[in-house]
C-alpha cells in the first residue's frame, strides 16, 4: 500500500493477447505452428511498424520446416523483434575464493534459445520470473552468465525490449538500473491487470485492427487466457494474479520511466531500526503520555515519508520493522502505564481501607480521584474524638498483654462504628481515636452521621463491657466530643512519610469537647447542634471554657434521636 500505487500506464506499450476468442477461432495453442506467429508479423505495416515486437512465447527447437522458415523470414523484415529464452537452473556445490564450499541453488545448467534461423534475425532475453519468499514477483536479475567467461551473458526479457526500443529511437546508450552485486534489482508496478491496451491476437493476425495503432510502440505478444498457465502474484494486484505478459509490460514500463529500486543494505536497515526504536524508548521513558503520543505519531509519519522518498529515489527500505517496533514500544508503554496505575490505585485504596469506611473507599475507586501528594484542601468537615475515661489509672494494675487485648477490643468497636457511618478513621492516639466526616469525599448528611457515630460508640460500650468483665473483670467508659467546621484536610508530612489527616481549629475544638465529656456522654458544639437539632435531642449543659480558647463555648449533650430518649449514662 505504501510503495506500490497505481500510475498512468505508458501508452507506448501495447499488448496482443492470446485470449479465449483467439483460441476459439484458431484452435488450442498446443496445435499452433510458427505460421501463426508469421501471420501476426505480416499483419504489421513495415512503413508504420512498431518500435519493438516482443514475443513472450518460446520458439525453442524446430517444428515444421515451412512454419519455421516463414517465421524467420517475417521476423527479418522488422529490425527489432525480441523473443523469449528460458534458463534452466540447477544446484551444485561450489568453492569460493576463500576456499569455503557453498551450495549454489541458481546454477545455470543450460539456456533454451529460439531456433537458429530465427535467432539470427532477432534478439532474445530470458523470461524466468524471480519470486520472493511470499511468491510475489517484485525483482529481476539483469543478466545471467552463460557459457564461458568471455560471453556477454543473457539479459532478461524486459531489459532486452527496453534496449531494443532505445536503439529504435536512435538512443544508443542505455541507463542500467541500480542493482546488487548479484545483478538483482526491483521494479515498480504501474497498473493492475487489464489496464494496458490489449488487442486480440486473432483480430490483429486477420487484419481486423488498423496496424497504424502500433506505430512506434512496444508490442508485447503473450498468453492472456486463464488456462495457459502463465500467471503470477504481484504486489499491485493482491488477491488476484497477473498474466506474465502484463508483468513484462509493467517491467518495461518501470525501465522506461526509471522506476527501479535496490534494497538498502540489511545492516544499515538493522542499524536504523535499532536507533529509531532506541530513540523512542528514551522518549517514552522521559515524557508524558501526550508527548509520547504526539512524538510517536510524528515518528511513524516520518518513517513512512522517509521510506517513500527513498523508494522514489530508487532505494527500498523495509520500514515495516521500525514502524512496528515503535508501535509496540508505544503499546507496551501504554500497557505498563495502565498496569502501574492499577497497582498504584490498588496500593492507595489498600491504604485508604485501613482508615476509611468500605463504601467510601469503593466510591473513591469509582471516581478515580486517588492522588497521594503532599498538601491539603480547605473543607467543611465534622471531627469526632473518643477516649476511655480513666484508662491510665486502670491500666496500672494490668499486664501489657491484657492492656493490648482491651485496647484492641475497644478500638475494633470504635472503628466499626466510624465505618458504619461513612467516616474516615484519622488516627489512633493511645486509647483515643480521631475520625473525620466529609473527607476525602463528600458525604451526604455528614454532621448527623458524626453525631450518630458518637451515640453508637457509647451504646456499644455496654456490649464490650460484658466481654471485658468476663475476661478481665473490668469495665470501661467512653467520652465523645464532636464539632463541625472548616479544616485543612490532606496528606501532611514529607515525600517518604505522610499521614492523611485534618488540621485546624475545628479539630482542636472537637478534642477539647472530648476532654470534658464524662463517660457515656456525647458532647457537641453549638455550630454542630444547629445542624442536627431537627434530628437529634440535645440539651444545653453550659458554656465551657475549653483549653486554648479565650472565650467560652456553648456545649450540648446529645441524648439521642428525636423521640428515642437518652442514649448514654453519666459516670
pLDDT digits (tens, 9 = 90+) for 102-151: 777 767 888 999 999 999 999 999 999 999 988 999 999 999 887 655 56
Exposure string over 37-54, b if 16+ CB within 10 A, otherwise e = bbbbbebbeeeebbbbbb
400-420 vs 446-471: helix axis angle to the nearest 10?
Answer: 150
Looking at residue 108, its pLDDT comes to 80
pLDDT at 120: 94
What's the whole-number mean pLDDT along residues 514-534? 94
Cβ neighbors of 45 (< 8 A, separation 6 or more) are 211, 212, 215
Tell whether the model's pLDDT for residue 571 goes beyond 50.
no
Report residue 414's pLDDT band, with 50, 70 and 90 as the boundaries: very high
pTM for this model (two decimals): 0.63
**35-60: average pLDDT:** 94
Q: What is the pLDDT of residue 148?
A: 58
**Phi, psi torsion values for 490, nearest 5 degrees:** 165, -165
Average pLDDT score, the chain: 88
User: Is the pLDDT assigned to residue 64 strictly greater than 70?
Assistant: yes
> Region 402-425: what's the mean pLDDT?
92
Mean predicted confidence (pLDDT) in 353-360:
59
Work out the pLDDT band at 455, boundaries 50, 70, 90. very high
Q: Is the pLDDT of residue 569 over 50?
A: no
Residue by residue, DSSP assigns 267-294 as HHHHHHHHHHHHHHHHHHHHS-HHHHHH
Tell me what the mean pLDDT of segment 385-405 comes to: 87
442 has pLDDT over 90: no
- Helices then strands, each counted (H, E), the chain: 16, 24
Higher pLDDT: 348 or 63? It is: 63
Q: Which comes out higher in pLDDT, residue 131 or 344?
A: 131
> What is the spatial distance between Cα 193 and Cα 249, in angstroms, rounded to a whole number?
10
Check if the beta carbon of residue 202 is closer than 8 Å to that of residue 20.
Answer: no
The predicted pLDDT at position 473 comes to 86
| 100: pLDDT strictly greater than 70 | yes
**CA distance to 284, 286, 293, 331, per residue, from 300 (Å):** 14, 19, 10, 13
The pLDDT tens digits for 279-303 are: 999 998 888 888 989 999 999 999 9
Query: What phi, psi does 419 have (nearest 5°)?
Result: -65, -35
Give me the pLDDT at residue 567, please.
Answer: 42
**pLDDT of 534 over the 60 cut:** yes
Does the N-terminal peptide bond of residue 440 adopt cis geometry, omega within 30 degrees of 0? yes
**For residue 13, what are the contacts with CB-CB under 8 A and spacing of at least 6?**
196, 197, 217, 218, 220, 249, 252, 253, 256
pLDDT at residue 342 is higher than 70: yes
Would you state the pLDDT for residue 372?
A: 47
Model pLDDT, residue 412? 92
- Residue 434 has what pLDDT? 95
pLDDT digits (tens, 9 = 90+) for 553-562: 899 999 999 8
Q: Which is higher by pLDDT, 441 or 195?
A: 195
Residue 91 has pLDDT above 60, yes or no: yes
Q: Where are the beta strands (DSSP E) in 395-534?
A: 424-429, 432-437, 478-494, 497-503, 522-525
All three cell numbers of 543, joined, read: 458554656
User: 568: pLDDT confidence band, cut at 50, 70 and 90?
Assistant: very low
> Crossing angle for the helix pair 289-312 and 320-353, nearest 10 degrees?
170
The one-character DSSP state at 356 is B
- For residue 396, the tally of other CB atoms under 10 A from its CB is 7
Q: What is the DSSP letter of 563?
A: T
Residues present in the chain in total = 571
What mean pLDDT comes out for the span 457-478? 91
CA 86 to chain centre: 46
Q: Is 403 exposed, middle or buried (0-12, 13-18, 19+ CB in 10 A)?
A: middle
Task: Tell me the backbone φ, ψ of residue 372, rounded to 5 degrees.
Answer: -110, 110
Using the predicted structure, report yes or no on whether residue 376 has a pLDDT greater than 90: no
> Sorting pLDDT into bands at 50, 70 and 90, what band is 565?
very low
Nearest Cα to Cα of residue 205 among 12, 17, 11, 14 = 17
Which has more confidence, 101 or 190? 190
Q: How far is CA 68 from CA 53, 65, 81, 249, in A?
A: 18, 5, 15, 27
Alpha-carbon torsion, ordered 438, 439, 442, 444, to 10 deg: -20
User: Which pLDDT does position 63 carry in this prediction?
Assistant: 83
Mean pLDDT, residues 516-540 taken together = 94
Per-residue buried b or exposed e for 164-178, using 16+ beta carbons within 10 Å of the residue's own CB: bbbbbeeeeeeeebe
- Of 123-132, 147-156, 308-317, 403-412, the one with minimum mean pLDDT is 147-156
Count of alpha carbons within 13 angstroms of residue 522, beta-carbon side = 28
Q: Which residue has the cell 499488448?
A: 15
State residue 551's pLDDT score.
Answer: 76
Average pLDDT over residues 249-253: 96
Query: For residue 1, what pLDDT band results from cuts at 50, 70 and 90?
Result: confident
Amino acid at each position: 500500500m505504501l510503495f506500490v500505487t497505481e500510475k498512468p500506464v505508458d501508452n507506448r506499450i501495447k499488448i496482443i493477447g492470446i485470449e479465449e476468442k483467439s483460441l476459439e477461432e484458431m484452435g488450442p495453442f498446443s496445435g499452433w505452428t510458427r505460421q501463426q506467429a508469421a501471420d501476426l508479423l505480416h499483419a504489421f505495416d513495415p512503413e508504420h511498424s512498431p518500435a519493438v515486437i516482443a514475443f513472450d512465447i518460446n520458439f525453442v527447437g524446430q517444428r515444421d520446416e515451412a512454419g519455421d522458415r516463414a517465421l524467420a523470414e517475417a521476423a527479418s523484415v522488422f529490425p527489432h523483434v525480441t523473443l523469449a529464452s528460458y534458463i534452466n537452473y540447477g544446484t551444485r556445490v561450489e568453492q569460493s575464493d576463500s576456499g569455503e564450499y557453498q551450495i549454489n541453488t541458481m546454477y545455470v545448467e543450460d539456456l533454451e534459445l529460439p531456433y537458429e534461423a530465427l535467432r539470427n534475425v532477432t534478439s532474445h532475453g530470458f523470461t524466468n520470473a524471480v519470486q520472493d519468499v511470499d511468491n510475489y514477483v517484485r525483482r529481476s536479475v539483469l543478466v545471467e552468465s552463460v557459457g564461458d567467461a568471455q560471453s556477454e551473458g543473457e539479459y532478461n526479457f524486459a531489459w532486452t525490449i527496453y534496449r531494443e526500443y532505445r536503439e529504435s529511437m536512435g538512443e544508443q546508450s542505455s541507463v542500467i538500473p541500480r542493482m546488487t552485486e548479484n545483478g538483482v534489482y526491483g521494479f515498480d508496478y504501474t497498473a493492475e491487470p487489464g489496464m494496458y491496451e490489449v488487442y486480440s491476437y486473432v483480430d490483429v493476425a486477420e487484419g481486423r485492427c488498423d496496424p497504424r495503432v502500433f506505430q512506434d510502440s512496444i508490442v508485447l505478444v503473450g498468453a492472456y487466457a486463464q488456462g495457459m498457465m502463465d500467471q503470477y502474484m504481484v504486489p499491485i494486484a493482491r488477491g488476484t494474479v497477473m498474466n506474465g505478459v502484463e508483468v513484462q509490460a509493467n517491467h518495461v514500463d518501470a525501465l522506461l520511466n526509471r522506476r527501479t529500486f535496490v534494497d538498502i543494505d540489511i545492516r544499515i536497515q538493522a542499524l536504523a531500526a535499532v536507533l529509531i526504536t532506541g530513540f523512542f524508548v528514551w522518549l517514552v521513558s522521559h515524557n508524558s503520555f501526550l508527548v509520547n503520543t504526539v512524538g510517536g505519531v510524528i515518528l511513524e509519519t516520518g518513517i513512512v515519508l522517509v521510506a517513500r522518498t527513498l523508494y522514489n529515489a530508487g532505494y527500498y527500505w523495509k520500514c515495516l520493522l521500525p514502524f512496528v517496533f515503535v508501535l509496540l514500544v508505544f503499546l507496551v508503554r501504554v500497557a505498563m502505564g495502565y498496569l502501574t496505575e492499577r497497582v498504584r490505585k490498588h496500593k492507595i485504596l489498600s491504604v485508604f481501607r485501613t482508615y476509611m469506611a468500605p463504601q467510601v473507599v469503593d466510591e473513591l475507586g469509582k471516581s478515580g480521584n486517588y492522588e497521594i501528594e503532599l498538601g491539603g484542601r480547605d473543607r467543611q468537615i465534622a471531627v469526632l474524638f473518643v477516649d476511655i475515661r480513666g484508662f491510665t489509672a486502670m491500666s496500672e494494675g494490668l499486664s501489657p498483654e491484657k492492656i493490648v487485648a482491651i485496647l484492641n477490643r475497644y478500638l475494633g468497636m470504635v472503628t466499626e462504628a466510624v465505618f458504619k457511618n461513612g467516616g474516615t478513621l484519622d488516627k489512633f492516639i493511645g486509647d483515643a481515636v480521631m475520625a473525620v466526616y466529609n473527607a476525602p469525599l463528600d458525604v451526604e448528611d455528614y454532621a448527623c452521621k458524626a453525631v450518630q457515630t458518637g451515640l453508637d460508640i457509647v451504646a456499644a460500650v455496654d456490649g464490650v463491657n460484658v466481654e471485658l468483665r468476663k475476661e478481665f473483670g473490668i469495665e470501661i467508659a467512653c467520652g465523645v466530643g464532636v464539632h463541625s467546621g472548616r479544616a485543612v484536610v490532606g496528606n501532611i508530612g514529607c515525600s517518604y512519610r505522610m499521614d492523611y489527616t485534618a488540621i485546624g481549629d475545628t479539630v482542636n475544638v472537637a478534642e477539647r469537647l472530648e476532654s470534658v465529656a464524662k463517660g457515656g456522654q456525647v458532647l457537641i458544639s453549638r455550630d454542630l447542634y444547629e445542624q442536627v437539632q431537627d434530628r437529634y435531642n440535645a440539651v444545653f449543659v453550659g458554656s465551657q471554657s475549653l483549653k486554648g480558647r479565650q472565650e467560652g463555648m456553648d456545649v450540648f449533650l446529645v441524648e439521642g434521636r428525636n423521640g428515642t430518649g437518652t442514649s448514654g449514662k453519666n459516670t
